[in-house]
Structures are given as C-alpha cells and as structure tokens.
Structure 1
C-alpha cells in the first residue's frame, strides 16, 4: 500500500508541471472571455436578470471547457445573483454553494467573502441572525483583504438587516459608511441602492421629507443607468411617502411610472397593495375593496414559507455535498460508499420533508374547509334572520297602512261634517249680526239667538271630538 501511494505521488509530481503548462496555454486565449462574460452578466442584473442567468450559463460552460476554477466559481455566483433578482432563491442558493466550493478549492478569499455576502442576502428577509452571521464572516475576510468595494456592500447589507430588525439608527449609520465607500470606488449601482435603502429607513422613522429627498436622488440615478428593476422598487417606496404626505396625485403618478418598470410578480403584487392603500386614503372604498379582493387571491405567504423550508433543506444538502467532495479528494477509495451513504440520508431527509409538507397541507385544507363550513352556516343564519325581520316589517307596514286609511276616512268625514253642520250656525250668526247693525232686531233677542247658535256650534264640536276619538263609531 505504501509503494502504491509513493508511486502515485511521484507520478503527480512529474505530471504537475506538464498540466500547469498545458492549462496556461489553453486558458490564455479564453480566460479574458470568461471574465468579460461574467462582467456583462453582472451588469445586466438590475435591468434584465434573465440575461444575467443566460450569460452566466455561457460563462460556466466556457470556464469548464478550459478548466478555469475561478471563472466557474464567479459565473456560478453571478448566476445566483440573477436568480435572486428573479426571486428563485432555491436555485440561487444552489449556485452560491457551487461557487463557494470552487473558490475554497483554489483559496480565493475574495470570492469566498462575496459568496458569504450573497448567501446572507438570501436569509435577510427570513432569518436575521443567520444573515448577520454570513455578512460578518464575509466582512472579516474583506477587512483582511482591505477590499473597500466588498466592505461597502457588506455594510449596506448589514444595514438592511438592522432596518428589518427596526434598529433604524444603526441602519442609517451602516448606510452612511456604505455610501462613502461606494463613492470612493465609483460603484454607482450600489450607491443608488444605498440611497434607496436610506430613504426607506427615513420613511419608517416618519421623516418623510428626508425620505423623499433620498428616494428622488436614487430615482434619478437609476433612470440615468437604465436600472429598470431598481426604478420600480424606488417608485414603490416614493408612492408610500407621497401617500403618507397625502399627496395623492403625486402618488398616483409615481405608481403608474413604477408599474411600467415592473419585471416580476412580486413587485406587481406590491404595487397592487400600494394602489389599494392610495384608494383607501382617498376614501374611494369601492376601488379599494376591489384591489383588496384581488390581493387576497394573490397572497403568497404560503409560497414564501415553502421557499424558506426548501432553502433550509438545500442548505443541508449542499453542506453535505461539500463535505463529500473534500473527503473524496483525500480518500478516493471511500468515495462510492460515502456517496451512497449520504445519498440515502438525503433521500430519507427529502422524503420526511415531503411527508411533512403533505401532512401540513392536508391539515390546513381540513381547517380551511371547516372554517368555510362555519362561515356558510353563519351566512345562512343571518339570511334567515333577515327574512324574519323583513316579514315582520311587512306586517307592521300593513297594519300602519290600514290604520292610516281608517284615520284618513274619519278625517274626510270630519271635513264633510264641518262643511255641512258647522257652516249653518255660523251663517245664522253672521245674519243676526247684520240685522242687529241695521236695527232690524231687538238687541236682547239677537243676543239670545246668538247664544243658541254658539251652543249649537259647541255641541257639534263636542260631538265631532267624540266621533274622532271613539273607534267604535263608524261615521258622523
């Protein structure tokens, strides 16, 4: 066995110079092309992420062909960035782990730090502490390398985590450091992102004027460099600021602009929600309700939870794969057995995960069905109550109508009676008054007859009052 290893080592030493010489001859013509493709792919990430993935795949293929590990690693890293902008975190995580494996194999600390930064971004919205752990690991490497551009990016991302933890003053401090560094290295794209994040943080602090100032600067820069996805994101934040300031016309204008730059479903969902908030603040409740109904149908909370679970599963898978690859380099004879062992373990883990997801989905579906049944029963009960109330109201209305008809009839009779019965004595009184004025009747006799007329009128009035208040009397 010792002789075998000694012979293997001797062959390796003899062939290594030949391999290196051949490698240099092959890559001298193509490494620059790989580098160019990677730069082109990275540049396209903000405006056309699908282009980033396509060009990165081309770079991977060429780098593999010429056996250029750093080029392969960087192409995988940039592909992961493109997939991240396309919200495909699962595949992005897989690409980052491939990049990490290649960078470590050639001792590239700068590339390793960049990948840690990228992986931290995947956890940024779901697991703050894990994200900070990756960012700080990357930052320690960047400090040792004195890489200002990488330090700026890591400070920006650490600030983003502080923002999500609602540590706004810490976030502002991190963004300020990042902005100075980005200005030093003339990284306009990340400087725009830094301005945007600073504006969003000021908005969360209620400092709307500062937020608007930062976001407008970011918007101007993004348009200058045709960063479509970034413009859409900045306009979304600006719309929130304008709504908070009750500048509804400005908000509507910026929403239209931002929507035209939207490149994915997640941003479309966010714009629909912002439009709902705008209409609600305007008190256009009918429009707000229609947007809210549409948002409810598009809700993707379950999808994000599913993606988070898949990231965790794939993280474990890739860590095991990296361990297997490292062991395979040192223990070639045990490679097959190790792959079989870890493969079986992976299948078991995935099987358990799939079973868990199925059980979870079944339980959730049962709970949803039960809730829908309860809601349907409640709706039926409310409908029955409304039917009973409506029926009772109809009966009350019928009774009131009949009562009014009876009263109207009595009033009509009263009017007729008044016309025929009261008018006669009053005419007699008027005649007596005229006779007395002309001296044609004795004054005492006139007074006597007038008293008789008044008594007759009083009797008629009493009789009418009795008839109006006595429901048993049919008429006058």
Structure 2
C-alpha cells in the first residue's frame, strides 16, 4: 500500500504533478526545459508539504543529469529521491529509484551492487504489475549476467524482456532490448546478427522522441558496419554526424566524444586527414570539457561540504546548551558529507580513467589505420612503378616500328593507311607521356622529406617559361613578372609545377604572341603567386574538377595526359600550400598558388 503525507492544497498538488509530468516528457527531447519544470515542482511541493512530488522531481533531475553523462550528479539526485520514497513507502517510485541507482553502479562496473538494486526494482515492479518498468528491470538483469559471462541467463532475461516490450508495443522499450540482444550477439561472436539487432533497434528508436537513444543506436550501427567491413562510408558518416548532432542537442558529452572518435576513424578510412585532425581535435576538446565539468562538480561538492560544515559549526557554537545530542548529530552529518565526498572522488576517478582509456584506444586504432593506409599507398606506388616501367618498353617498340614504317614505306601507302599509321605514332607518343606522368605522380610522395632550399623565383620562372615556349614553338610568347621574393622549397619540384602551369597558359592561347603575367602578394604568413593567361578560360563548374587525375576538358582539340594539374596540386600540397583557379570563358584564367612563408 502506498502512503504519503497529503498535500495541503489540492490545486497546488495537481500543479506539482503537472510540472513533473511535463519534466518527464521533456527529459530526453528538451533536458533544460525538463530541469526547469522539475525544479518548479520541487519548490512548490516543499511549500505544500508534498514529499512524493519532491521525490518525483528529484528523480527526474537525476535522469536529466544521466542523459548528459553526469553519473555523479545523477546518483546524488537518485539517492535523495530514494530516501524520501522509503520514508513515505512510495512503491512505484521505489521501483524506479532502485533501477536507476543500479544503472549508476553498473556504469561504474560495480556489478554486485547493481545486481542488488536491479533485483529489488524487479520484485517491486512485478508485484505492482508495472509491465513497462519490468521490461527494463529484466533487461538490466540481463546486462549484469552478460558482463559476468553468463550467456544463457543473459539470453533468457533479454528474451523475456523483448516478449513483454512487443506485447505492450512500446517503441523505446523494444529499441532498448534489441540493442541489448545486439551486444549479446556480438559477445557470442556473431557480428552479422549483432548488426541486424542494432539496425532493428534504430528503426524502433526513430519512432520515439528519445534523442539520446537514437544517437547511441546510430553509433552502434556504424561500429558494427566497420566490424563487418561494410565500407558504405557515405552512410556511416551520415549516421555518425547525426549521432553527434543529437548528442549535442541533449548535452550528452559522453556520446559526443564517442561520435567524434568514430568520425575521425571514418575519415582515416577515407584518407581525409584534414577531417581526421578536425574530429580528433574536437574529440580532445570534448574530453577536456568532460574533465572540466567533473572538476567543477567536484569543486561545487567541496564548497557545499565546506558550507554545511561551517553552518554546523555556527549552530554548535550558538546552541552549546544542547551539548552531547547536537554533537552526535553533527558527527553524523560530517560522516555523511565525508562519505559523499569519497563517493564523488571515486566517480570522478572512474570518469577520468574511462576518458583516458577511450583516447588511448582511439590513438591505437588510428595508428593501425595509418599503417594500413601507408602500406596500401606503398603497394599502389609499387604497382604504378612496375606498370609504367613494363608498359613503356612495348609502347616504345610500337612507336619506333611505326615511325620506321612511316619513313620507309609511307609514300607507297594509300591515304587511309597513312592516316592509321599517324594515329599509331601519336597514340604511342601520348601513352609514353602518360606513363611518365603517372610515374612522376607516384614518385612525388617520396620527396616529401627532402631538404628545402631557398629558391629565387624570377630566374627560375624565366628559365621554365622559355623552355615551354620553345617546346610549343611560340617564340613570341611574353612573360611579365612582378617583384618576387625567394621562397623555401624543392627546386626541381617547383620547376615541374610552374612548367605545367606555363604549358597550360601557352597551349590554350591561340594568339601569335601569347602573354602570361606572374604577380606576387604577401597574404598574412603566406606567399601568394598568381599566373594569369589570356587563353580560352574554363567554366566555373569545372574549375575544381581539373585538379583531379586524368581530367581533360577538351580531348579532341588539345593534346595532354590529364595529369598535369593533378601533379601541380600534389607538389603544392608537399610544400604545405594550396592551389586554385579563377576563370571566365573567353577571357583567360588565373591560377593561384600559396606557400607558407617559412
């Protein structure tokens, strides 16, 4: 039988229950609003002597803190609610308190204590026929059995829980249990079944408004796709980003750190190391926020303890006449405060250890992925080297014999045969150039660590431009150069870079006296060079695409391998710079190159 002190005002008591109900409804979707409603309920319940309203509000505050990853704060609220509920014999509330306190101990890996609270919660809920509550109690008992490697018992609890959840048709409960079955499958070594369970959990979670539940389901699905080596990176990144957004919306720092870690791992798989750096930095920031938050909570707790101690001392000094009795009360108070402080320090220590362990595991994973990527890239370089070397010989032979046939028998062949022979010669030449460019492209990475030298740009650019003008038989080409500084770089690579840029500027300019202008600007800490031509120009939608390998926009009118600008981008990146272009069709193009001003 449930007993509690009757409220003094029925209208006010209904207002308390309304605020608590709204807080309960908002606890997952709008935690700040839920907190405000619960505090309002507690304040009014205290005024009208309505302890059940206070206990319910405290419990909801604990759930809000739990959803934010603040286990120490959640435990404090749960214990306060439990004390009130035991005093007024609130059976339904006790079932909730026991279950949630069990969750805190479970998160601390104190499975013996968690088991005691979970069993008490289950027994109360069973006696009250609180089916929804019983679903979670059975699931939690399954969690303990799973952690203790009692697979048959864990499976039995989870199946009982799932049967009840499906019978009651509670989407959040089904999602919760399917997630637990996913963990069970994973522990049994069935990764495929684990993914199926988590995907089903996600589908039910999406039917709810529990953003924390959806966020955690999204993360688990991504992790299992990675374990099952399903490389659907676009979908995985979408899920992980959505998980991060949902976790941020609920203020769940623990889930945010996990999502940032997963996004960094996915970026490493893609080879996008800028994104790896971004998400790793975000992960470190979130860990620091978690540590800072725990530190602030510890400081607040110490300040509270100090304030209470001072208050107790002042009361003791003012009321010495009650002597020994008051002394005993103060001793109890101090002992309780000391015990709370010790418990808080244990929770903080555990939080720091968990954060450190996750960061260490992430660093190890990232190191393994980096080694795998380096090995794959080395294999690719070796393949390109062998392919270009082995293919060059037959291509040279084809070109040489075609040239010989053209010189010796060209006059005796009909027009069609001469045209075909010309195609063979041109094709062999183009293939040979393509293989040379491919070899250069793959060899560039090996020069990343070679020493930098100060390169005087003006004489180097004049030399490279003259060579390109001669090769393209444009002796009247004009080069205008502004004042240029010396920059730090790889001389040979810079010659290749500007050689390709000048080659493009002259190739795509049909004028008899093509003009190229090189300008310089110091932008912050970067040297910026611009190479402007008066060629045919490029449409805006192609201005990024042309830096990709094998991209050529006009294959019929102009010769080329489609690798020149890809090589340029690789060289600029090796100098830790960037390259881009601006162009208007019919009015020429301007290529911009930026290098750090070391």
Shared fold, TM over 0.5: yes
Say if 2:232 is the partner of 1:248.
yes
Residue in 2 that maps onto 1:259? 244
Structure whose CA Rg is larger: 1
CA distance in structure 1 between the partners assigned to 2:71 and 2:56 by the alignment: 18
- For residue 104 of structure 1, report the CA deviation from its aligned partner: 1.3
Say if 2:261 is the partner of 1:273.
yes
Residue in 2 that maps onto 1:40? 22
CA distance in structure 1 between the partners assigned to 2:73 and 2:187 by the alignment: 32
The size of the alignment, in residue pairs, is: 319
CA distance in structure 2 between the partners assigned to 1:207 and 1:199 by the alignment: 9
- 1:245-300 CA-to-partner distances (Å, cap 9, x unmatched) read 32232322322332232223221210122123324445667755765566466557
SS in 2 for 1:226: coil
- 8 Å contact 1:269–1:298 — kept in the other structure? yes
Counterpart pick for 2:214 among 219, 228, 231: 231
Residue in 1 that maps onto 2:68? 86
CA distance in structure 2 between the partners assigned to 1:283 and 1:182 by the alignment: 43
**1:25-424 mapped onto 2 (5 Å cutoff):** 26-126=8-108, 127-245=110-228, 246-249=230-233, 250-263=235-248, 264-282=252-270, 288=276, 291-292=279-280, 295=283, 299=287, 303=291, 336-346=326-336
CA distance in structure 1 between the partners assigned to 2:346 and 2:39 by the alignment: 34
- 8 Å contact 1:159–1:171 — kept in the other structure? yes
CA distance in structure 2 between the partners assigned to 1:236 and 1:149 by the alignment: 25
Q: Which protein has the bigger strand share?
A: 2
| Structure-2 change in CA distance of 1:200 and 1:150 (3 Å) | same
- 1:197-225 CA-to-partner distances (Å, cap 9, x unmatched) read 32343344443433333323332333233
CA distance in structure 1 between the partners assigned to 2:206 and 2:279 by the alignment: 29
| Structure-2 change in CA distance of 1:91 and 1:187 (3 Å) | same
- For residue 48 of structure 1, report the CA deviation from its aligned partner: 2.3
- 8 Å contact 1:248–1:278 — kept in the other structure? no
SS in 1 for 2:259: helix
CA distance in structure 2 between the partners assigned to 1:114 and 1:355 by the alignment: 25
Q: Which deviates the most, 158-167 or 243-252? A: 158-167
User: Unpaired runs of 5+ in structure 2?
Assistant: 306-321, 348-449, 451-598
| Structure-2 change in CA distance of 1:255 and 1:30 (3 Å) | same
- 1:383-439 CA-to-partner distances (Å, cap 9, x unmatched) read xxxxxxx9xxxxxxxxxxxxxxxxxxxxxxxxxxxxxxxxxxxxxxxxxxxxxxxxx
- 8 Å contact 1:93–1:119 — kept in the other structure? yes
Q: TM-score of the superposition, structure 1-length normalised?
A: 0.57
| Structure-2 change in CA distance of 1:179 and 1:351 (3 Å) | closer
User: Unpaired runs of 5+ in structure 1?
Assistant: 1-19, 318-331, 358-389, 391-476
- 8 Å contact 2:142–2:154 — kept in the other structure? yes
| Structure-2 change in CA distance of 1:183 and 1:229 (3 Å) | same
Considering only aligned residues, what root-mean-square deviation do their CA atoms show, in Å? Answer: 3.9
